[in-house]
Chains A and B, each alone.
Chain A
Amino acid sequence: MTSSSQEPCCGVCTCGAKTDQKGQDRREFLAYTAGAMGVAGAAATLWPMINSMNPAADTLALSTTEVDVSGVKEGEALTVMWRGKPVFIRRRTGAEVEEAQKVDLTTLRDPQSDAERVKASSFNGQERPEWLVVVGVCTHLGCVPLGQKATDPHGEFNGWFCPCHGSQYDSSARIRKGPAPRNLDVPPYVFTDATHIRIG
């Protein structure tokens, strides 16, 4: 290169060439176009790699679980696996249902009536509030709360107690005390007949 000028020839480099204005504009345009295309191309190449970490088709297809609840007696609970997470199915006693329905919604952190939470348990137009189905994962940081077994601690509200950071859920699995922000989630589910639930 023979030029001794230190003027940059385009916006993106300092190769020190002296050229006429027209050629310089053209080069600048080409350089920016190439740069933009390079960035777009690199991003488009990276996307399939990042996307490959999302759930695969077979994982998504496995997202329903069928449960037979005919063996669950009143006051008992069943834990089943759905999408790799525990789902709590509880057949509540009349006293527990009544207790859950009586709660003043204005005192709740995540206000939701008990009827709303067990809506999907209806079968053949008949409401069945004794069946509570929730995802057994604490909405704080993902631990599994205690309370499924009679011998477990149930917290101050006769529901579930999370041993990790002390969140307490009531008999409708609503958050009442502790750091968790939301009630335990209700998964999508239906009763396919009186004693079978399909979750997901």
Chain B
Amino acid sequence: MSASERTPFKNPVIDWIDRRLPVFTFLNKEYGAFPTPKNFNYLWNFGAIAMVMLGVMILTGLFLAMNYAPSTDHAFGSVEHIMRDVNGGWLLRYMHANGASFFFIAVYIHVFRGMFYGSYKEPRELLWILGVLIMLIMMATAFMGYVLPWGQMSFWGATVITNLFSAIPVVGPSIVEWLWGGFSVDNPTLNRFFALHFLLPFVLLGVVGLHVAALHVTGSNNPTGVEPKSKKDTVPFHPYYTVKDLFGVTVFLIIYALVVFYAPNGLGEPDNYIPANPLVTPPHIVPEWYFLPFYAILRSFTIDIHLPFTSFVLISSKLGGVLLMFGAILMLLVLPWLDRSPVRSGCYRPWFRLFFALLVVDCLVLGFIGAKPPEEPFVTVGQIAAFWYFFHFLVILPLLTKFEKPRPLPASISDAVDAKKIVLLLALLLGVSATAQASESNVLPPHRPMAGWPQEGAFGTFDRAALQRGFQVYKQVCSTCHSLKLLSYRNLADLGFNEQEVKAIAAESKVTDGPNDQGEMFERPARPSDAFVKPFANDQAARAANNGALPPDLSLIVKARHGGEDYIYSLLTGFGLSPTHGEKIAEGMTFNPYFPGHQIAMPPPLQADSVTYADGTQATIEQEARDVAQFLTWAAEPKMEARKQTGARVVLFLVLFAGVLYLLKRSFWTRVH
């Protein structure tokens, strides 16, 4: 823009800058006076929401990266270090981990909105294509980010996804080794994934810039799909849409905050709190919820396609699945040419509207199937749903272009009536199959103690007396076999022990330190800053002492098992029952209906009075199990109370803020309505 077109600013400093670098003129043109259709519904908020989530991800990610160690030896531990020791680290990590989910929620709603209202149609094809690219980069980034905590799901997710490329004929295996930098997912893989996970968001930011630039050339689509005809049809972007976007963003942040503070692991898999183990694949691996529909499509291709009348395999089921999965996304790139109906908005296309609703349902079904094990009837349902997905885009949309008779379009935006129903339909998307849980075959579902747990619910706190009793049970019973290596003695101050008591407890254990001036290792009493001393020097020693079974570390056991503290409690009180289905119990094993496989190598650990409680509580098995389950819940998430307290303040603030923004928004919009 040339200087002559510039309107001078009143403020001399701003004008001085603007004459040399017209940022303020630009901002005013693109975000101030920018004429915007006046009839957006709330679905048009999701572009701004997605942008805010990208900002949240980049910021939290930056500070997480400062504390994260991308090496297979330290990755898992450094994430727990962030959760336990870094100031506010638990908040940053939960914001980041759940932020990915909410970024996807925003983007998926944004995409479906674009599909319904035909925002991909001429002249916005390139805008749409850039959007699909953003989604692709986002998926790659999210996948690599999920690998970084180096838990079991990270490792096996990385293994499965990188192995997709091995389906490529001839060069596949070489490509996979190149991706790994070795012969399996290992340290080089983790290192490069970290580097790329840091880089890609900035690439994403660049493409978002192009996406927005393209948007500002064509202007926004709107619910009628009719281009603005006069000034009557538009309002300046500021303040009308700045305030409306802010309101929408704040409401979205309320939901986000509720998850971050009150169900931060609800969208994750317990298995990812088990450190990566290249020798053991978890019995049921699933990707994060946002990949489930694509995962279902991948698994739906189960036959080899032969060259007719020969046994030559043209497309193996492996390659077919991979092609379909990538095809499902890449097909969106050509959507503007699959649907060539001149009418944009689904509001005026009765048949399109019906099929669109079916597509939404289809995607939800695919997501649900993706979370299920590959068994019948899920396989068949998944195949039908995958078929329908492609059928919709490749057959139905072109046919609708030809045969559908659209309803008459309004002469202009001002004459149209908004279709609010669609908002409701798409709001359903929020509940995407994330809730679909894996069915665990024949394991008794864990139950909770009659009295429930004091730490439950939005305002639940730990019962300090129970934690101290539970620690006593751990120390006198569990700790003979189970380590608790993520905890240090200093953490016991949280249980209500004073400094002297913590020192005394620590000093009861001996740690190996050194070398001293003579170059020899020596033993000394543990100090509060030392980590809990392990019962065995290494895993091999632990196995040797326990009939070949490795007693798991208990630091994260409550978060690493479905059912959490209920599972611990049920398992500990579930001994002494006899097999109901006549199962044969192997030698050295004990029957326990709550343990996967029903046979556990651990002999019944608790007896009545196996400890004598300092506070005089009667030490029944039930009581001991309850106490130690509470102690282990604390051990898995010592910052739980701080989390809930912060959450209450954040949610209250956001609700008030949303209220003020709503009133402000209404005070502007009354002039338009």
Contacts and interface: CB of A to CB of B under 8 A. Distances in A.
Q: Do A and B come from the same complex?
A: yes
Contacts of B240: 15
B517 interface: yes
A197 to B, nearest CB: 15
A33 B657 CA distance: 9
A27 B92 contact: no
A17 interface: yes
Interface string B641-669: 00000000000011011001101100110
A150 interface: no
Interface string A48-62: 110111101111011
A57 B528 contact: no
B344 interface: no
Interface string A144-184: 00000000000000000000000000000000000000000
Contacts of B63: 49, 52-53
A108 interface: no
B657 A23 contact: no
A56 to B, nearest CB: 4
A61 B232 CA distance: 66
B667 A51 contact: no
Which of B67, B656, B663, B672: most chain A CB closer than 10 A?
Answer: B663
B85 A57 contact: yes
Interface string B87-99: 1110110000000
Contacts, number: 96
A33 B529 CA distance: 46
Interface stretch (A34-42, A86-94, A98-106, A115-123): A34-42
A58 B80 CA distance: 12
B407 interface: no
Contact of A56 (B81, B517, B653): B81
Contacts of A62: 529
A34 B664 contact: yes
Interface string B11-30: 00000000000000000000
Contacts of A107: none
Nearest to A70: B517
Contacts of B653: 37, 41, 44
A56 B663 contact: no
Contacts of A44: 653
A54 B87 contact: yes
Given A52-B67, A52-B87, A52-B89, A41 B657 contact: yes
Contacts of A27: 664, 667-668
Nearest to A37: B657
Interface in B53-101: 59-60, 62-63, 66-67, 81, 84-89, 91-92
Which of A61, A68, A71: most chain B CB closer than 10 A?
Answer: A61
A17 B667 CA distance: 11
B49 to A, nearest CB: 16
Which of A27, A31, A49: most chain B CB closer than 10 A?
Answer: A49
B398 interface: no
Given A52-B63, A62-B529, A15 B668 contact: yes
Which of B67, B238, B664: most chain A CB closer than 10 A?
Answer: B664
Nearest to B649: A44
Nearest to B670: A23
A125 B663 CA distance: 72
Nearest to A55: B87
Interface string A11-37: 001011101000100110011011001
B488 interface: yes
23 contacts: A1-B38, A15-B238, A15-B240, A17-B668, A26-B667, A33-B660, A34-B243, A34-B664, A38-B657, A41-B653, A48-B88, A49-B59, A49-B60, A49-B62, A53-B63, A53-B66, A56-B87, A57-B490, A58-B85, A58-B488, A61-B488, A61-B490, A68-B517
Interface of B: 38, 59-60, 62-63, 66-67, 81, 84-89, 91-92, 231-232, 235-236, 238-240, 243, 246, 488, 490, 516-517, 527-529, 653-654, 656-657, 660-661, 663-664, 667-668, 671-672
Given A13-B238, A41-B653, A56-B89, 5 more contacts: A44-B653, A52-B66, A59-B85, A62-B529, A64-B527
Q: Nearest 7 A-B pairs (CB), nearest first?
A: A48-B88, A61-B529, A57-B85, A56-B85, A30-B664, A58-B85, A27-B667
Interface of A: 1-3, 13, 15-17, 19, 23, 26-27, 30-31, 33-34, 37-38, 41, 44, 47-49, 51-54, 56-59, 61-62, 64, 68, 71
